[in-house]
Amino acid sequence: MDAPLQIIPKRFPQYDHFALNGNIDAQAETLLKELPARVRQPQVTIDFSSSGRINSMGIALLLRCFKAIREEKQADIELAGLTPMNTMLFKMTGIFLLATPAKG
Amino acid sequence: MLSNDPILALFADTEDENAWYRPLSTIPDIIRITAGRFLPVTLENMRGLGINPQLAVVSGALYPTVMPELIGMLKENFPGIEVLVLSSTFAPLPPIERLMADKVRHLVIEPVSPEGMRSPLLRAVNDLVHKRKWEIAKHVRKGTQIHIFQLASSADKEAVIGAVEGAVKGETAEHELLRQKGALLADEMLENAFYGAPRGADGGKIFRKGENRGLLPGEKIVFRFAFDGETLAMEMADSWGSLAPDMVMEYLARNQNSAGLPEEIGGRGLFIIWRFLDQLHVDITPGNRTVVGGHLHVSSPFPPEAPRGFHITITEKEKINGCTVTDHS
């Protein structure tokens, strides 16, 4: 899938919700850099159910983005819509040390 | 290495030796040794008798944890000996830093029961004894089409990834996972070729990830893959040869131990390639060519979190009548 990243925000009473649609790679740098500033609530859900391929550059950008959300916004991050492939990749690269997979 | 040189196999104890008996039993001319305090004398005696093994298969239960000095001892007695460390999918990964320090470039992780596939250990021993390189054609069924792409610019990347995804046909969840792994591996291999390999005179990277670029004069990037319905094999060759074996091992070790927290860590792409392939193969002709490849299966014998092996080899530039040949085709 050759689809550049789009970030679709939704605001719920208890948490912020951002759907990451498309590939997460070097092209996603600007959008992911801007994402922490868009967080308003102490609970954030990042939804990967419509995301495409996530490569090593995408992992680096997600790590930087999640670290900023935690440090600058003191917010907890939950990851939704993960595929088995996302889970494997996030486990081996340490993403789960910064964000928790959603239950169920 | 001559194919009739004996192979040395070293184990921590009898139990360890018995655990590896089956895969090693089909290898001819193998000398089995259970290491103990008399090992230095045994090795010296072998040398004195003119026995000159060129390959040592060392159990991960023995080295590096139990006998860290083993490789030094082997190299002292048999200079030029190639060492292959053998471990299993349920054992912890041997510390790569130690392997790097001892210049051990071959690690085989043997699945508990490699049913339906040839033992990775036997393949590795055979390749090392006969000085054969990893090749796609040896890992897919005879007659399988091998797809070859010579890329002209970074804009070609998505078409190649699409071709890998399109070739892995099948509707099961395992096929879908293999398609995704294949796409990611192709992506990482090509990113390495386009942005990691090109280096300036100072050793620094020439291109920034994500920028569109064409090939430089004389530069060549070739991607190959094949899928036979069960095995997906792929390799990427660039014409830089800028990787070094120690650099490969350092990237693997650094990413293995960092748990990803420093986001700007180097070599994450190579680390991901290693973790998704059954075994990583890297062949470097310094200053001339780097080939990164490997294979994976629809029904993988490796649990997702099991350690993976690697083979890192150096090829000297081809020489004809003492002249170095550089292929510019």
Please tell me the distance from the alpha carbon of residue B83 to that of residue B102, in angstroms, as a whole number: 10
Whether the per-residue pLDDT at B1 is higher than 60: the answer is: no
Domain spans in chain B, listed from the N-terminal domain onward = 7-129, 136-327
| Average pLDDT of the residues of chain A | 94
Q: Which has the minimum average pLDDT: A66-75, B1-10, B28-37? A: B1-10
Asked if pLDDT for residue B2 goes beyond 50, the answer is: no
Of the two residues B117 and A30, the one the predictor is more confident about is: A30
| B221 or B254, which is more confident | B221
CA distance A69 to B271: 26
pLDDT in tens, A69-94: 999 999 999 999 999 999 999 999 99
Split at pLDDT 50, 70, 90, the class of B320 is: low
Q: Which residues of A touch B162 (CB under 8 A)?
A: 2
Which of B157, B180, B273 should one mutate to test binding to chain A, selecting the residue with the greatest count of A CBs within 10 A? B180
Using CA coordinates, name the residue in chain B closest to A59. Answer: B263
Is any Cβ of chain B less than 8 angstroms from the Cβ of A63?
yes
Yes or no, beta carbons of A55 and B191 under 8 Å apart = yes
**Residues B247-273, mean pLDDT to the nearest whole number:** 83
Q: What long-range pairs does B123-126 form, CB within 8 A, spacing at least 24?
A: B124/B84, B124/B279, B124/B309, B124/B311, B125/B7, B125/B27, B125/B55, B125/B57, B125/B84
Q: What is the pLDDT of residue B323?
A: 65
Measured between CB atoms, does A68 come within 8 Å of chain B? no
How would residue A15 be classed by pLDDT, with cut points 50, 70 and 90? Answer: very high
CATH code: domain B7-129 is: 3.40.50.2300
Q: Could you give the 3-state DSSP secondary structure of residue B51?
A: coil
Q: Chain A partners of B272 at a C-beta cutoff of 8 Å? A: 55-56, 59, 89, 92-93
pLDDT digits (tens, 9 = 90+) for B35-69: 988 999 999 999 999 999 999 999 999 999 999 99
| Optimal mutation site among A48, A55, A70, interface B, most CBs of chain B within 10 A | A55
Contacts of A61 in chain B (CB under 8 A): 263
**CB of A15 closer than 8 Å to CB of A39:** no
Q: Does B98 touch chain A (CB under 8 A)?
A: no
Nearest Cα residue to A85 out of B327, B300, B3: B300
User: Would you call A4 helix, strand, or coil by DSSP?
Assistant: coil
Whether B190 and chain A come into contact, CB under 8 Å, resolves to no
Across chain B, what does the average pLDDT equal?
Answer: 91
Q: What is the pLDDT of residue A36?
A: 97
- Cα distances from B243 to residues B250, B282, B290, B314, in angstroms, run 11, 9, 7, 10
DSSP B291-303: EEEEEEESS-SS-
- Rounded to whole angstroms, the Cα distance separating A3 from A20 reads 11
CA dist B94 and B27 (Å) reads 24
Stronger pLDDT, A97 or A103, i.e. the higher one: A97
Query: Domains of chain A by range and CATH?
Result: 6-101 (3.30.750.24)
Q: Given this model, what pLDDT does residue B269 score?
A: 95
Q: Do A99 and A67 touch, CB atoms closer than 8 A?
A: no
Is B180 in the A-facing interface, judged by CB distances under 8 Å? yes
- Give the whole-number percent of chain B exceeding pLDDT 70: 91
- Say how many CB pairs under 8 Å bridge A and B: 73
Calculate the CA B105 to chain-centre distance.
Answer: 8
Q: According to the model, what pLDDT value does residue B329 have?
A: 42
- C-alpha radius of gyration, chain A, whole number: 12
Contact state of B191 with A57 under an 8 Å Cβ cutoff: yes
**CA separation for the pair B188, B267 (Å, rounded):** 10
Per-residue pLDDT, B32:
95
B156 touches chain A (CB under 8 A): no
Q: pLDDT category, B324, cuts 50, 70, 90?
A: low
Rounded distance between C-alpha atoms, residue B210 and residue B218, angstroms = 22
B122-153 exposure pattern, b = at least 16 Cβ within 10 A, e = fewer = bbbbebbbeeeebbbeebbeeebeebebebee
Tell me the CATH number for domain B136-327.
3.30.565.10
Instruction: Give pLDDT, residue A79.
Output: 98
Listed by number, the residues of chain A in 33-52 with a beta carbon closer than 8 Å to a beta carbon of chain B are none
The predicted model gives B225-239 an average pLDDT of 97
Section B265-289 average pLDDT: 94
Average pLDDT rounded to a whole number, residues B19-30: 88
Give just the sign of the alpha carbon dihedral B118, B121, B124, B126.
negative
**E strand spans, chain B:** 7-11, 30-34, 55-59, 82-88, 106-110, 147-151, 221-227, 231-238, 279-285, 289-297, 309-314, 319-320, 323-324
Q: What are residue B167's phi and psi, to 5 degrees?
A: -80, -30
Looking at the complex, does the CB of residue A97 fall below 8 Å from at least one CB of chain B?
Answer: yes
Q: With an 8 Å Cβ cutoff, are B263 and A61 in contact?
A: yes
Q: Phi, psi (5° rounding) for residue B202? A: -85, 5
Q: What is the pLDDT of residue B310?
A: 97
Structural tokens at position B222: 């070739």
**A17 close to B (CB below 8 A):** no
Domains B7-129 and B136-327 are alike in CATH topology: no
Q: Percent of chain A beyond pLDDT 70? A: 98
